[in-house]
Structures are given as structure tokens and as C-alpha cells.
Structure 1
Amino acid sequence: EALGNFCIEDDSSVVLQSCVSPVWDTALAMVAMQEAGVPADHPALVKAAQWLLDLEVRRKGDWQVKAPDLEPGGWAFEFLNDWYPDVDDSGFVMLAIKDIKVRDKKHKEQAIKRGIAWCLGMQSENGGWGAFDKDNTKHMLNKIPFADLEALIDPPTADLTGRMLELMGNFGYDTTYPPAERALEFLKIEQEPEGPWWGRWGVNYIYGTWSVLCGLEAIGEDMTQPYIKRAVNWFKSKQNLDGGWGEVCESYFDRSLMGSGASTPSQTGWALLSLFAAGEADSSAAVRGIEYLIKTQKQDGTWDEDAFTGTGFPKFFMIKYHIYRNCFPLTALGKYRRLTAESRDKE
């Protein structure tokens, strides 16, 4: 019966939904609303923040095998999954609730303190972060014949490491903090020769590079450095004629397709947020991207997106997050409005 609740059936087929993502979706929506100017004491944001606080993980899960002395904290992806909180959801939740005017401020502060400590304690030896575990890097396990999805391990990835830098930067840490220093070195090693970073949890190089650049800006990295400029130039080279950005899932199989595909609202949002992080809000590429989002927005304020831009297992299990088509364009438009207003005020 439970499995049946995840099935969508029509006259000719049955499609099985893999999972639900309420914590992730709620955090993304909250960040988008705040970036768009919704006040921190708005009832919807306060209610959402309290809901997230009530879902904080307070018990030890499977991660304790690698980190037995680490105290629990953080958040999971689903309604209930105390065994497997992850650093991505945890990071985005803390970014989402940071400024919200909840009734019990002390409760929020303590939850964030526990969450940050847990996330920092999950850093792997190579300086990066995996999602659910640390130092889970025995790649030979993915070579076992039954490991056909190549997903038996949880190695550190650039997108999650970028998220952790963004978390640290938003809560007062800078590039001199030892975990941040190690993370920066990890990202420099992981960068592709063309400039972008591979995306483990979203399609693909556009997603990974978005997460990294936002993290680098937040932690206070010098965004004029050559390795960052390579990523910016890569984004500019991949912009479509319509002003947007897109990338097909096939880029996981074929590197020549990295950053290539029909424009989508979510991937355009990621590209724009990347350019903003690199100080390129006034560039012609950013302006064209904003124009793409404006002209493709529907009368009801939403965007259409048929593409799958989320990733479960690269190559084999792709996810369509229905909130992506709206929250990332909204985040980009809101941030662009703020950045351009700040620029005008300085003149």
C-alpha cells in the first residue's frame, strides 16, 4: 500500500516516484522567498522555519561508524530519516532559517550550532564532503557486478563542499579557518580543465559550478583568481542564443556535452547565481540571462520545465524536482534586483 502511494498510473503505464523531498523543497522555497524580498517575520516563513526546527535530527545514525565521537545534529531529506541526515539538506536548512524571526530564538540558535558542528565533523580527510558519510571512498565497491548503479559509496564531491563553504561563510568563518582551507584545496584539485566542477546531485557541471562559486564567494575567496575566472568564462561560453543555459543528463556519459542543452529555468538560475557570485551581475551574459527568465515567465508567475535537472545516481537515476523551475529563477531575479539596486546606490 505504501509503495502504491508512490505510483502514478495512466492507461498505458505506471511510473514510480522514487522519494519525497519536503525538507529540501521547503529550504529552497524559503531562500527564494527571502531573496525576493519577503520579510523575515512573514507568517509563512516563520511557520516553515518552525516546521524545519521540529525535524532536526537528534539521534546518532549510520554516520557514527566513521565519526563515533560526533554529536548528532542536522536535517534529513525526507519527512523522517533520522538514520541518514545529510550535509546538503542541513546546510540549506540553516541558510534558510538563519534570519527568520521565530518565537524561540534560543532554540533556533542551538539547532544551528548543533548542525554546524555536525557538518564540520563530517569533513573527509581529503578536505571535501560527501552527503551522508565521511571518508566513504572505497571505489572498488562500485566495480562489483551487482553495483550496476555505481552508487555503493558516498565520496566527497565539489557541489557538497561548495555548500559547506557557503554555510561556513554565512556563519562568520573565512578562508583562514582550517576546514575552509582544506576545502579550498580540495576544490582546486577537483576543478575540470575547462573550468567547471562536476555535479553529483544536480545536472551537472552547471549545478556543480553554481554550488562551488556560491561557496567561494561566501567564504571570502578572492573571486578574481584565475581558477575562478576559468569557471566564469566557461559559463559565458555555454550561454545559449536565447540567453538561457541548459545541460542534458547525457553529460554524465559524454564530457563533450558538459554545459550543453536547451535552456531551462532552473539551470539558468544556477548560471546566473554563479555569475553574481563572481561579481558579474552587470555583465552582458547576466543581463541576457535575466531577460530570458523574464520573457519565459508565465502570467501566473511560474515557469515551465520538462527537463530532469536533479540527480539521484549520476547516469542512472535522475530526478525532476518540480519546485526547481520556480525557486531558482525567483532566487536569481531577487538577487539581481538587490545587486543592481546596491550598484545604483553606490553611484
Structure 2
Amino acid sequence: MTLLDLQHADGHWEGEVVWNTMLLSQYLMTHHILDSRALSEVDLKDARKHYELTVLDDGSWPFHCDGEEGSLYVTTLAYVALRLIGTPADDPLTARARAWMHRRPHGVAAVPTWGRMWLAMLGLYPYEGINPIPPELALLPGVVQRMYTHTRHVYLGLAYLYGARFQHTEINDEIRAELHGDKTNFRRHEIDDSDLFQRPIWPLRRGYDLLTAYERRPSRKLRAKALRRCAELAERELAASDGQCLSPVNGLLACLVLAHAGEPREQVLKRLTKLDVWRWQDEDDGLRITGASSAIWETSFAMRALVAGDAPEEPLRKAHEWLLGAQVVDELPPELREGRDRVAGGWCFFRDRTIRWPVSDSTAEALSALLLTDDAIGTRTPADRARLAAEFILTRQNPDGGFGTYERTRAPGWAEKLNPSEMYHGCMTDLSHVECTASCVSALVRYRRRWPDPRVDDAVAAGVAFLRTQQRPDGSYRGAWGINFTYAAFFVVEALTEAGVPVGDPAVAGVADWLLRHQRPDGGWGEHHLSCRTGEYVPHPHGQRTMTGWAVLALTRAIGPEHPAVLRAGQFLDWPQTIHEAASGVFFGTAVLDYSLYRVIFPVWATNVVEGFMRQPS
């Protein structure tokens, strides 16, 4: 299937972003708590089908789509969800999962905090065994708003539910016995090795101990005020995002919060239905809840892949019109703006502008796609809309010259040491990232070619300086949102060369040398997701088409399309795909994501770029 075949009728591209079954489990649990009748028999059958397709040979479920070992967190939630939708305890799917969980050194008692909270809400885990998540933190001026967007919205929901000791009234003693047996020792600091990535540091654990003492007799007046504040923020997030929320995780929690806070049942169920925007369902893979939706991101890259080739004009015109229409052009109303940076001018990662959580690099890539399409086929991006985008990007630049994602950096780097998530890293504050910075630099350079602006000149210079500081001694750059060094190389080389840095400069030549050293004998590139965990390059056993596309796009700029390494890579991309393409996205270091369209877009883009160079007159 070609890239043009995958374009939607309205002009955009959108592939599935696959993570794990955790989101499906939370979706089923929320429906069980709020309205189990809302799911049809087909939904339940398709949910089971997805669990069957993703279970490992030992009966567990992995932490991500390419995981080879089970996760206690994901497996426990899958087990409970399956039981809640009617799967018997002696069914092979649940029986094998239960046996796997019981073989863990501390059993289900050692599930991470997020898992404990979902179990506690169903009466399957004691709140006393959970490290405190006090809602009173929401009353401290500026504390919550300094956290990374996803983290703060998840924890606002968890804090309310923890503080209220939320518990579904239909307690299933049978499932509780299946999970725990006769174990009654629930140690707050004990986390299973299958999920633990960053153990909370000693001062944080000591803080938990002190808060545990407070939780025995919290101030009723203060607790009530804090709960009202958390509920208010949950409702505000739903209103600002047209009910879709920043992610399905915080959206499901927000529905539970408002249900407990007294919102009418019919209104809560309407809110829950809005979250179906995150659903994917088909005959092949059943029902699943996607970890993200990346229509704007993938449409921008697909447009650039087509611009690099000999694509017909009409698909590009439709894509240009759709992408321009997806820009956020109005500001949030004052009652919804508390703690938010400006949104006008940006593009979201999501499929349209209604979610109103625009991102720096999504905006940058959308602006680049529009301007490059203008150059290729003569479309016209209005100057006022381009200026609005450039101004949005400028508001996301940090003092260090780099760019984060949703917001400017609001907390110092040491805040990452206070990470309570146990399973992730880099999730506490929106620090500058190599890829986001590179995307923003490239877009601003393209913008200033048409509309010169001294502010843009300063921002580009600062962005380039930041990128120089991030280069490692071996010439590579570490990424944060893809796997990993190969991903970063693609963005960095484009940004530096667009900004006028010569190819002989160490910042460009070093990346090229690093890529050449890591080319596989078959001509491709392949990087294992463990690179994201270790911080050092880990080769994949097989060449990967997506990563080879990234490397070729970088090398055509750095060493030219006629270099033997690029020609060998072209042969690799021309060969029929004979192996499973590994996932190439990631967030927070451990959550590997499979962007289904990446394996189409980037090989096509790389091939078109090389062939385009070859067609140029000598």
C-alpha cells in the first residue's frame, strides 16, 4: 500500500500508535465502575481478542508492544479487566496470568503505585499500602503547575481519588482472593523488578512516611478544599479539550473524579463517551485504546515525503488545506487558561485543534510542511497564520536556547529526582529536547526566508547553540521521543544545515561519522529500544526501514546522496520487507510506541530525496 493510498478523504494521514494493554484495561475498569452496560457484546469480544493477541507465551503481558518479558503492572490490570468483563478464573487466559503473577517474588502486592490505585478503586488493594498522593498539594501555589503536563493531570486525578478514598461499591471478594491469596503484607516501597525503572530516592520515601502519618488524621477542612480544587481542575481540563483530554489516562480519571464529586450520572456518561475518540477497533486486532493520536505529526511528514518526490498536486493541496484548518487560531477563554501557556498559533499532536494542547515540534513540523508545499506546488500559506505559528514557537523557547514540548520549562532539572512514577524517567518537568529544538530551528529558518524577523534570528542562533551543547563525544545526539540516537540524528542534521552550519562543521560531520560507523552490513540501520533505557547505543538484531530512512535523510544532507553508504542504504530500502518492523517511538524512556505509519512515511521520504538528487542536472 502506497503513501497516497493511506491518505484520508479529507486530506490527512493518521496511523495507530500502539503501546500496551494498560489503557484498554483502564478503559474497561472505568466502564465497569460507571456503566458496564455501555459496552456491547462485540466490544467485550473484541477486547478479549486483543488480550489474546498480545499475551506472551508465559501468560503475562509486556510493558510495551515490543516487550519480551511480562510487566506485573500491565498483567495485573489485564487480569482484573478480563475478570470484570466475564472471563472465568479458570479460563486459560486468566489462569496462566494468575500463575505468572503469583510467581513474582512479592506477588501482586508489589505492583507500582499507579496499578495499586486502580486496584484500590475496585476494592482490590488497601489504600494503606499506597504511598500517599495527597490532594492538598494542589493548594500549594504553583507547585502542581510546574510539573510536566501529562504528569500533573494524571496526578491531579489520582490525588483526588486517593484523598477521597474512592471505592466502587461492588467489591469482588473472589477476584481479591485470586490476586492476593492469603497475603496481607502490603509494603509501600516494594516495587516489582519487572516495572521498576527509577526507584524513588530516600528523601522522597521519607516524605511518603511523613505523609502517611498525616493521612491517619488529615485536616477535614483542608482535605475538602483540596478535593474541590482537584475536581475543578479536572472539569476545566475536560472543558478546554472538548472532553477529549490530554490523554486517555487522565481523561478516564477525570470522569471518575467528577462522578464521585457529584456530577449527574448522565453527564458523566456523556463525558466517558467523548473519550471514545481514543478507541481503535477492527477485525484484525480487536478493541484497543491508543496511547496517542498523531494525525498532525504524520500528515506533516507525509506531505514532506511527497514534496520530495514526484507526487501529484491534488493530494498535497488537500493535505495543505486540512493541515491549515487544524491550526489553533484562538486563545483559551480566561476561565480555562489558569496555568497554561498561550495556545493560539500552535498545532496539536492530535487529529485536530479541538483538544487545544498544541506542541512546539508539532507546530514546527506543520509549519515546515506548509511552507515547503507552497514552494513545491504553489499553495499559499497566509502570512498572518504563519506569523501566528512562528510566534507560538518563540513562546516555547527555554532560557537555555532549547525547546520542550507543551510548555516552557517551569522547574529545575533536579525536580526529576523527585519522580514518584517508579516506571518512567524524564516525566517531571518539560525540559529542552534535542528533537523539539531541531524541529523548531528548521521551521523558524524556513519562516524567516519569507518573512525576516530579528526575533527569529536570535531564536535560531540560540537553538543552534543549544544543539551544539548536546552533542556527545562520539558525535551522536540522544533523542527523547524516538529510538533514539538514529532518530535524533535525522532532526539535528536537518536543523543545523538549514540554519547554515557547513557540513564540515563537527556538529554535522560528527553525526555523519557516527551514522557511518553504525551502518549494518546489509546497508540499513537498526537500533534497539534498550538504547532509551541505557543511554548508550544498542544495536537491533535486524535492520529497520524506519531508522534507515532517518539515517538516509540525515546523510544526504551531510555527505551527499552519491556516497556509497547512502547507495547501500537505498538498496536495503528497495528490498522487500521480510522481518517484523520494530517499534521506533518512545516516551519517558521506557514506554515504547509503534507509530504504524512511520514504516511507510520515512522509507518513502528517504527514497524520494535520493532519487530527487539523482534527477538534478549535473
Q: Shorter-chain TM-score: which interval?
A: 0.7 to 0.9
1:227-265 CA-partner distances (Å, limit 9, x unpaired): 321111110000001000011110112244356552111
Aligned to 2:348: 76
Q: Following the alignment from structure 1 to structure 2, what is the Cα–Cα distance between the partners of residues 53 and 311?
A: 27
Aligned to 1:252: 532
The letter of the residue matching 2:599 is R
Q: Does 1:52 find its partner at 2:328?
A: no
Structure 1 SS opposite 2:586? strand
> Could you say which structure has the larger radius of gyration?
2
Aligned to 2:294: 21
Q: Is the 8 A contact 2:583 2:594 kept in 1?
A: yes
Q: How does 1:204-223 map to 2 (within 5 A)?
A: 204-223=484-503
Using the TM superposition, give the Cα deviation of residue 208 of structure 1 relative to its aligned residue in structure 2, in angstroms.
0.7
Q: Following the alignment from structure 1 to structure 2, what is the Cα–Cα distance between the partners of residues 31 and 290?
A: 18
Question: Which of 402, 406, 421 is matched with 1:128 structurally?
Answer: 402
Q: Following the alignment from structure 2 to structure 1, what is the Cα–Cα distance between the partners of residues 500 and 613?
A: 17
1:271-318 CA-partner distances (Å, limit 9, x unpaired): 0011011133221111111110011358xxxxx653110122222x11
The letter of the residue matching 1:88 is D
Q: Is the 8 A contact 2:373 2:379 kept in 1?
A: no
The letter of the residue matching 2:409 is D
Aligned to 2:584: 309
1:203-222 CA-partner distances (Å, limit 9, x unpaired): 10000111000111111111
Q: Is the 8 A contact 1:169 1:219 kept in 2?
A: yes
Aligned to 1:301: none
1:53-111 CA-partner distances (Å, limit 9, x unpaired): 222112446998585xx672110011345442011111111122225469x96764322
The letter of the residue matching 1:319 is L
Structure 2 SS opposite 1:129? coil
Shifted more, 92-101 versus 222-231: the winner is: 92-101
The letter of the residue matching 2:390 is I
The letter of the residue matching 1:170 is R
Q: Following the alignment from structure 2 to structure 1, what is the Cα–Cα distance between the partners of residues 419 and 397?
A: 30
Aligned to 2:117: none
Call closer, same or farther: CA 1:107–1:97 in 2, change over 3 Å.
Answer: closer
Q: Is the 8 A contact 1:28 1:96 kept in 2?
A: yes
Q: Following the alignment from structure 1 to structure 2, what is the Cα–Cα distance between the partners of residues 207 and 64?
A: 35
Call closer, same or farther: CA 1:145–1:274 in 2, change over 3 Å.
Answer: closer
The letter of the residue matching 1:326 is V
Aligned to 2:285: none
Q: Is the 8 A contact 2:478 2:535 kept in 1?
A: no
Q: Is the 8 A contact 1:87 1:160 kept in 2?
A: yes
Q: Is the 8 A contact 1:205 1:258 kept in 2?
A: no
Shifted more, 224-233 versus 289-298: the winner is: 289-298
Aligned to 2:440: 164
Q: Does 1:91 find its partner at 2:364?
A: yes
Equivalences, count: 333
Aligned to 2:392: 118
Q: Following the alignment from structure 1 to structure 2, what is the Cα–Cα distance between the partners of residues 86 and 216?
A: 21
Q: Following the alignment from structure 1 to structure 2, what is the Cα–Cα distance between the partners of residues 253 and 48?
A: 36
Aligned to 1:268: 548
Question: Which of 430, 442, 446 is matched with 1:154 structurally?
Answer: 430
With normalisation by structure 2, the TM-score equals 0.50
Using the TM superposition, give the Cα deviation of residue 331 of structure 1 relative to its aligned residue in structure 2, in angstroms.
0.6
Unpaired runs of 5+ in structure 2?
1-23, 29-42, 56-77, 79-287
Identity of counterpart residues, as a percentage?
Answer: 22
Q: Following the alignment from structure 1 to structure 2, what is the Cα–Cα distance between the partners of residues 203 and 256?
A: 11
Call closer, same or farther: CA 1:237–1:8 in 2, change over 3 Å.
Answer: farther
Q: Is the 8 A contact 1:58 1:73 kept in 2?
A: yes
With normalisation by structure 1, the TM-score equals 0.86
Q: Following the alignment from structure 1 to structure 2, what is the Cα–Cα distance between the partners of residues 107 and 181?
A: 25
Q: Following the alignment from structure 2 to structure 1, what is the Cα–Cα distance between the partners of residues 545 and 337?
A: 35
The letter of the residue matching 1:265 is R
Q: Following the alignment from structure 2 to structure 1, what is the Cα–Cα distance between the partners of residues 444 and 515?
A: 25
